[in-house]
Amino acid sequence: MTKSSARPFVLVSLLLLAAALLSIAVGSVLIPLSTLGELFRSALNGLPGGSAQVDPYLTILLRLRLPRTVLMILIGAALGGSGAAYQGLFRNPLADPYLIGVASGAGLGAVLAMSFRWPYSLLSLLAVPLAALLAALLTVWLVYLLGRVGRTLPTTNLILAGVAVSSFATALTSFLMINATGELRRAIVWLLGGSTLSGWQPVLAALPFITVGLGTLLFMGHALNVLQLGDEQAQQLGLPVQRVRRLVVVAASMATAAAVAFAGIIGFVGLMVPHIIRLVWGGDYRRLLPLSILGGSTFLLLADVVARVVMAPQELPVGVITAMAGAPFFLWLLRRARQQNYW
Amino acid sequence: MLSVRNLQAGYDERLVIKGVSFDLPEGCILALIGPNGSGKSTLIRCLSGVLPPVSGDILFKGKTILKASSAERARWMAVVPQARNLPPAFTGWEMVSLGRTPYLNWLGQLSEKDESLVQKALELTSTLDLAERRIGELSGGEQQRLLLARALAQAAPILLLDEPTTHLDLQHQLSMLERLRGLAHPVNGENGLPWRRLSALVVLHDLNLAARFADQVGLLVNGELRALGSPQDVLTEPLLSAVYQVPIEVMNLPGSGRPVILPRAH
């Protein structure tokens, strides 16, 4: 906490920028970097379109690549940031954004929405993510009510209630999926972390939740540091423990719920990114939170690029890539750090 | 400084503290002794605001603190807990600087004044050399000293210490309590802290340490304060033998006038 170097922030930001450029350029149609530069120049000069040669690229860029890239940045940020927050809140290295039922709640909401036949409209496009978002927030609220004891929220109760409610929601989801027909493939793709949406709508819909959620979390760094001493000592040091707990749970769940709703269930980002940051730059939450947000975006962008090209023209769900790349890398880091007092 | 009036506290329906009243004057070291399960730690938890009382009142300088926020309370009372399960990755400096929490905003940025108080607390506890080391690589005694430093950085006039000597060897037990006496009764009237004379409530299991270092001794039995007074008045053969249910002999330490307690076999 004494070091306040800006170097990690510069480094991770540069990585994020590189990943974003890669994500914009790479896909089933490769946009050459020179064309990208020309597009940016003409955009800066206020000329829509530019030369005729550039025009088809512009459509791909504006309609497909750019929204996809921005969405991945948002989702990765939400997962990385809330992962760091949950690990701090529960003082548990295995805590992840889905721990208290966000994912299974969202899954139930999504499958419920898919089991209806919607007339084609904007609402039908957004029905599934919105239902997922609503169900995720409802689940967290239910877990919160069940885990509460008087006015306090003991960690063990919260986790136990989360596990119970999660299992129940997952069982309901399985039941619905067995009975459902037709839309099943879409549900499976979504559950594996594949976005079924494209364009700017999901970006705009997820933006407010993720901004408010992560914005709140950025103010919680010091409080999470104090919480590492345990609830009792934290309160004796003057921290309003219950208020901090509530704020962190609500903010992190809001960001995660939006991420799950608009991009499906993407594993390992929220668990792994904060650990990597912690291993490299230490566990001060005032640095860990913002760095995990930037790192989450970077990691998810790279995973998404791989998901797009590895079986092109078919796209893999990005969740498959994050888990396949993430798990071994994480284990390697863990082995290396076994001797250090890093957690 | 601190007054406790007819305090009752407990868990669920079970009362652990059954009507305790006492005063902790400025500059006084009050040792709280009593058998296991008599409610000593519960009393500390209740005073520090972790466990709300069932009834009764806690007063700081004559005003009730039951409605105070946890930050306000932390500016009046600093707790030195037992050194257990501390986050191993924190450095000594980080641990002690958390004592400034009741004065900081959400971002937790230390001012120059905060940093100089942290520095002072490290000096007073001889822990300057631990500032850059990680908690996980320190001994129990070093961790305990850092926890005292953290409480001093909190700059509160009252210290609540929960068995601060339990995990320490003989030398460190004595130096911990001598340090405490120096803070409550500064030799040249100056201890280097914002409050010149600290008041301390310290839970002790070792009756001889209580006899030697305390200004007053409170004997807590089954949630009630059975006796409260000078070490000579409270640490007596009949009282201790009855409470601890072992035959106990009390002698006088030549020269100091303080009692020495010798338990005898049954």
Residues whose CB falls within 8 Å of the CB of residue A159, separated by 6 or more in sequence, listed in order: A90, A99, A100, A147
The whole-number average pLDDT for the span A125-138 is 81
In one letter, which amino acid is A252?
A: A
- Which uninterrupted H or E stretch holds A329? helix A318-336
Say what the pLDDT of residue A339 is: 54
Q: Under a CB-based contact definition with an 8 Å cutoff, are residues B74 and A238 in contact?
A: yes
Contact call for residues A74 and A210 (beta carbons, < 8 A): yes
Decide if A235 touches B, using CB distance below 8 A: yes
Q: Is A182 on the interface with B (CB under 8 A)?
A: no
- What is the distance in angstroms between the Cα of A216 and the nearest Cα belonging to chain B? 11
Query: What is the DSSP secondary structure assignment for residue B85, as one 8-state letter?
Result: S
* Residue of higher predicted confidence among A117 and B146: B146
Q: Which of B47, B190, B40, B52 is nearest to B120 (CA)?
A: B190
pLDDT of residue A151: 67
| Average pLDDT rounded to a whole number, residues B68-72 | 93
Contact B98 A283 (CB under 8 A): no
Q: Which pTM was predicted?
A: 0.87
Residues facing B33 on adjacent strands: B219
Polymer length in residues for chain B: 266
Q: Residue B123 has what pLDDT?
A: 92
Q: By C-alpha distance, which of B184, B181, B165, B162 is closest to B173?
A: B165
Of the residues A219, A236, A277, the best mutation for testing chain B's interface (the one with the most B CB atoms within 10 Å of its CB) is A236
Return the pLDDT at B159: 95
pLDDT bucket at A119, cuts 50 / 70 / 90? low
Q: Which residue has the higher pLDDT, A73 or A188?
A: A73
- Write out chain A residues lying below 8 Å of B146, CB-based: none
Q: Which residue would you say has higher pLDDT here, A288 or A48?
A: A288
Chain A residue numbers touching B134 (CB-CB < 8 A): 341
- Is the CB of A283 inside 8 Å of chain B's CB atoms? yes
CATH of domain A3-340: 1.10.3470.10
Res. A6 pLDDT band, cuts 50 70 90: confident
Tokens describing residue A73: 């940045």
* Rounded (10°) angle between helices A122-147 and A201-218: 30
- pLDDT confidence tier of residue B74, bands split at 50, 70 and 90: very high
For position A2, what pLDDT does the model report? 42
Is the confidence at residue A326, as pLDDT, over 90?
no
User: Taking 90 as the threshold, does the pLDDT of residue B47 lie above it?
Assistant: yes
Contact state of A225 with B104 under an 8 Å Cβ cutoff: no
For chains A and B, CB pairs below 8 A equal 84
- The answer to whether A49 touches A42, Cβ cutoff 8 Å, is yes
H-only helix segments in chain B: 40-47, 70-76, 92-97, 112-124, 140-153, 170-184, 207-213, 231-234, 237-244
Is residue B23 exposed (0-12), middle (13-18) or buried (19+ Cβ within 10 Å)? middle
pLDDT category at A77 given cuts 50, 70, 90 is very high
Residue A251 near residue A179 (C-beta atoms within 8 A): no
Q: Does A85 touch chain B (CB under 8 A)?
A: no
**Least confident piece of the model among A40-44, A216-220, B1-5, B62-66:** A40-44
Q: How confident is the model over B82-101, as pLDDT tens digits? A: 888 888 888 999 999 999 99
C-alpha separations of B193 from B117, B181, B190, B199 in Å: 8, 14, 8, 13
Whether B78 and A238 have beta carbons less than 8 Å apart is answered as no
Contacts of B73 in chain A (CB under 8 A): 238
Out of B75, B87, B137, whose CB is closest to A228? Answer: B87
Q: Is there a contact between A225 and B106 if contact means CB atoms under 8 Å apart? A: no
**Residue A215 contacts B where some CB pair is shorter than 8 Å:** no
The pLDDT value recorded for residue B142 is: 92
pLDDT in tens, A167-225: 999 899 888 877 766 666 666 777 776 665 678 888 888 899 999 999 999 999 999 99
pLDDT reported for residue A1: 42
CA distance B168 to B129: 19
**Nearest residue to A286 (alpha-carbon basis) of B104, B154, B99, B106:** B106
Quick check: A3 pLDDT over 60? Answer: no
User: Min CA distance, B236 vs chain A (Å)?
Assistant: 35
CA-nearest residue to A91 within chain B is B87
Q: Which residues pair with B24 in a beta bridge?
A: B2
Q: Compute the nearest-CA separation of A282 from chain B (Å).
A: 8
Contact: A237, B98; criterion CB under 8 Å: yes
Q: Would the CB atoms of B73 and A237 count as touching at under 8 Å?
A: no
Tally of CB atoms within 10 A around A154:
13
pLDDT in tens, B194-244: 777 899 999 999 999 999 999 999 999 999 999 999 999 999 999 999 999
Residue B213 burial (C-beta neighbours within 10 Å; 0-12, 13-18, 19+): buried
Instruction: Taking residues B129-151, report their average pLDDT.
Output: 93
Residue of B nearest to A231 (CA): B50
Q: Which residues pair with B55 in a beta bridge?
A: B8
pLDDT, mean of residues B177-186: 90
Q: At CA A270, angle to CA A266 and CA A274, rounded to 5?
A: 150
Q: Do A1 and B97 touch (CB under 8 A)?
A: yes
Nearest CA in chain A to B97: A1
- Contact call for residues B199 and B23 (beta carbons, < 8 A): no
Lowest-confidence pick of A188-197, B48-57, B248-257:
A188-197
Q: Is A4 on the interface with B (CB under 8 A)?
A: no
C-alpha to C-alpha distance for B230 and A215, rounded to whole angstroms: 56
Instruction: Give the pLDDT confidence of A224-282 residue by residue, as tens digits.
Output: 999 999 989 999 999 999 899 889 988 998 899 889 888 888 888 998 899 889 888 88
The per-residue pLDDT for A301 is: 95
CB contact under 8 A, B79 and A233: yes
Euclidean distance between CA atoms A282 and A299, whole angstroms:
19
DSSP structure string for A15-82: HHHHHHHHHHH-SSSPPPHHHHHHHHHHHHTT-SS-STTTHHHHHIIIIIIHHHHHHHHHHHHHHHHH
pLDDT score of A101: 84
Is the pLDDT at A340 greater than 70? The verdict is no
Query: In percent, how much of chain B has pLDDT > 70?
Result: 99
Instruction: Kindly list the domain boundaries of chain A, sorted by start residue.
Output: 3-340
Torsion of CA A308, A174, A135, A264, to 10 degrees: -10
Least confident interval from A250-264, A290-304, B26-40: A250-264
Chain B positions touching A229 (Cβ under 8 A) are 86-87, 98
Question: Is the pLDDT reported for residue B48 higher than 80?
Answer: yes
A342, two tokens? 């890093």
What mean pLDDT comes out for the span B62-87? 91
**Percentage, residues of chain A above pLDDT 70:** 85
Test A225 with B107 for CB contact under 8 angstroms. Answer: no
Predicted pLDDT at B91: 92
B88 neighbourhood in chain A, CB within 8 Å: 341, 343
Chain A: residue nearest B136 by CA? A341
Q: What six digits make up the tokens of B169? A: 């060897």
DSSP-derived 3-state class of residue B103:
helix
CA A340 to chain B, closest CA, distance in angstroms equals 9
